[in-house]
Structures are given as C-alpha cells and as structure tokens.
Amino acid sequence: GAVVSQHPSRVICKSGTSVKIECRSLDFQATTMFWYRQFPKQSLMLMATSNEGSKATYEQGVEKDKFLINHASLTLSTLTVTSAHPEDSSFYICSARRQGYEQYFGPGTRLTVT
Amino acid sequence: KQEVTQIPAALSVPEGENLVLNCSFTDSAIYNLQWFRQDPGKGLTSLLLIQSSQREQTSGRLNASLDKSSGRSTLYIAASQPGDSATYLCAVNTDKLIFGTGTRLQVFP
C-alpha cells in the first residue's frame, strides 16, 4: 500500500509555456501533499506544502505565482509551472501523507525547458 | 533554521566492506529521522525511519542509529554489494522533511 504516482514522468516544453504535473495517491487519502525540486547532484528542496481544500504554503524564495499548486481532492495535487524558463528545468518530486503517517514519495517528473 | 549535513559527500569502496554514512542536524526538535535511497534519475526509496524516542532501527544489512541530543544519525551498511550503489539521503521531520546533502555511494566488484 501507500503508492504515489506522478504524471508525466518526463516532459519537454518550450520557454514561455506552462506545464502541469500531477501527483496522485493511489490507495490512500492524503490530507497533505508536498512538492520538492531537485537540481542535478543536489538534494531535495521543499517548494510547498498543500492541504486538501486549502491554499498551499510556499517555502521562502519560491514564487507562488509561478508555481501554482492545487490540491482539490484527497488523492490529487497538481503543480503548474507557468511561463517556464530554462532555469526551471529540474526534477520535481511530490509526496503524500495521511494523518499521522510518514510521507510517501512519487517517482518524480523530469522537466526540461528549451 | 534546521540544517542537515551528510558526510562523506561521496564514497567509493570495493564490495564486501562495511560502511558508515553520517548525518548531522542542527536542531534536535524533530519527530523522526528517515534514511532514503535514490537511484540516478529516480524517486526516493525509504530505507529506515527512526522515531525521536528510538535509538536505532534495523532492516536486513542496514542499521540506522539516532542520537537526538547530539544531532547525529548514522547509517551502517554491512557487507556492501554493487547493487547498493546509489545516493543515500537522510531527512529530519519537523512536520516537514528537511533533507541532507546526500552521500553518493559506489560499490565496485
């Protein structure tokens, strides 16, 4: 149990376009979902925390108007990178947590902006 | 501000060696500490989770210890194998996970 999926696994887009990444908890209801970003050979950096039905809480330095997070249901959160630029190219990983349990991580999405 | 550091940053060893990976954190007010494995281009695999009240956890050839008062955790890998080659990340839970800098491990035959 406790499987988290992400879609797509890889995406290439042109500079200036927007990209949506989905994160789903497949066999449990996630009260909280987290979005992380990982640059090459670096560790994971938390971008934002979202609770179902509430606005996301963004970490310092993360532009909330650029990285739109929606957590409309207990099994789905989406991250939209708006007006993407090459510097947004990164590995984006989500995780999901149900009340009182640990976080379960998705397989990640590789975003390349050309 | 919680900071998590891992030493060494990289390690290359012949198979069969016993290994110790280190993780240190600056604020001892944590709920738990978790060790993960990450293969290149992949997501995270949880290895061990130690609650703040625990001293150690074991799973197969892996043993993780936690000394909360000194802000340290170690991951011990016994009889390393080439399949253990990956990046190992520790993360402390303060209601959100703060990840360490990682240790890239290579075990060669």
Cβ of A44 within 8 Å of Cβ of B100? The answer is no
Inspect the interface and report whether the beta carbons of A105 and B32 lie closer than 8 Å. Answer: no
Nearest CA in chain A to B90: A43
Strands A109-113 and A10-13: parallel
The percent of residues in chain A predicted with pLDDT above 70, rounded, is: 99
pLDDT (average), residues A35-57: 91
Nearest CB to B44 within list A45, A105, A110: A105
Q: Using CB atoms, pick whichever of B41, B97, B98 lies closest to residue A103.
A: B97
Place of tokens 């909330």: A64
- The answer, yes or no, to whether residue B81 has pLDDT greater than 90, is yes
Is B14 a residue whose pLDDT tops 90? yes
Preceding omega of B40 cis (within 30 degrees of 0): no
Tokens of B15: 């198979």
% of chain B exceeding 70 in pLDDT: 100
pLDDT at A5: 96
Quote the pLDDT of residue A2.
86
- B97/A43 touch (CB, cutoff 8 Å), yes or no: no
Q: What is the pLDDT of residues B17-28, one digit of tens each?
A: 999 999 999 999
Q: Which pLDDT band holds residue B95 (cuts at 50, 70, 90)?
A: confident
Q: At residue B34, what are phi and psi to the nearest 5 degrees?
A: -130, 145
pLDDT for position A25: 94
Respond yes or no on whether the N-terminal peptide bond of residue A8 is cis (omega within 30° of 0). yes
- In chain A, residues with a C-beta closer than 8 Å to the C-beta of B104 are 41
pLDDT of residue B36 exceeding 90, the answer is: yes
pLDDT in tens, A63-108: 999 999 998 889 999 999 999 999 999 999 999 998 777 899 999 9
Question: Is the pLDDT at B49 greater than 90, yes or no?
Answer: yes
Per the CB < 8 A criterion, the answer to whether B84 and B73 are in contact is no
Q: For chain B, what is the mean pLDDT? A: 95
Question: Facing residues of A61 across strands?
Answer: none
Q: Rounded distance, CA A6 to CA A47, Å?
A: 16
Partners of B98 on chain A (C-beta within 8 Å) are 46
Residues A9-43 have pLDDT tens digits of 999 999 999 999 999 999 999 989 999 999 988 89
Residue for token pair 């892996």: B62
CA-based torsion, A77, A90, B106, B90: positive or negative: negative
